[in-house]
Structure 1
């Protein structure tokens, strides 16, 4: 039997155990470029380990819809991973706390337009799940010589409800 989880809006407070929310909520930290640009400074704790470096990649993921079947969680033990959408469309974020080296019960968040996320190192998460096409994202993550991916199939999985 598939378990069900309910999406909740993505907020910095609710997402804090898993990572950082990237958005332009509130007033900028300072104005730059002759007062024409607000800077929201140092929004995420990027972590690439002692032998990694930051890389910027572009991902083009197939759009999905809700309800969504969550059947796979993964994590990156060597570094954080940031997802910045290149469109104003919301996307689904699924995460889980670690439970003795395996994922615990997942949580599901729905982003607001123009929000991105940074997943902390080692956080279990679902695959990139845009809810509209094109699902194009800038991704900032670890580039390094050691493996940085662990995957777990969920059986029977979870049905993520809107």
Structure 2
């Protein structure tokens, strides 16, 4: 699954592009171009998150908050926006037992999301995700039950710490096709 399952479809009625992203299991290796994945510590006192401090000098303040996520319940998901954080990495620590989605892509040369590079991952509730600085990502979406996240990132307090991009093309997130 993964990159080979991602496809770009052309809608014959209006020639506008559409993108279908097939989800894959979240692993540190697959997610490495976009940030870090760590397991919540079990049996050890601490686990440090490598890119947690990936931030610009302007992001002098550290912010930690609790955030609720949209509970989807089932797929497919029609993505309507992406976001990025130009001054800091952003870490999500799940505070429940639901699976959640991490949908990401890198930036195109003009800085907008490169939708041809979209990837979607299913994270288990024991996986902590850190989106690297400037990585485009979909807002947190939970599959199984309502869940909150502890969220941490550096903030400037002066600039746009959150940049949003409305998707004017169809982007659909789906479960991977069953293997034959």
TM-score category by the smaller chain?
0.7 to 0.9
Q: CA RMSD in A?
A: 1.8
Task: Point out the structure with the larger strand share.
Answer: 1
Residue in structure 2 matching 1:148, options 145, 149, 161: 161
Aligned to 2:126: 114
Residue 44 of structure 2: SS of its match in structure 1?
strand
Listed one character per residue, the Cα deviations across residues 29-74 of structure 1 (whole Å, up to 9, x for unaligned) are: xxxxxxxx41453233122321322211000122013111112111
Contact 1:8 1:109 in 2 (8 A): yes
TM-score, normalised to structure 2, is: 0.78
Partners of 1:51 and 1:151 lie apart in 2 by: 19
Specify the alignment match of 1:57 in structure 2. Answer: 65
* Unmatched tracts of structure 2, length 5 or more: 1-10, 12-17, 176-180
Check whether the contact 1:62–1:133 (CA below 8 A) recurs between aligned residues. no
C-alpha distance in 1 between matches for 2:162 and 2:125: 28
Q: What does residue 38 of structure 1 align with?
A: 44
Structure 1 residue 150, shift from structure 2 partner: 1.6
Q: Which runs of 5+ in 1 are unaligned?
A: 29-36
Q: Which has the higher helix share?
A: 2
Aligned to 2:3: none
TM-score, normalised via structure 1 length:
0.86
Indicate if the aligned counterparts of 2:37 and 2:129 stay in contact, CA closer than 8 A.
Answer: yes
Which of 110, 114, 120 is the aligned partner of 1:104?
Answer: 114
Residue aligned with 1:157, SS: strand
Distance in 2, matches of 1:75 and 1:51, equals: 16
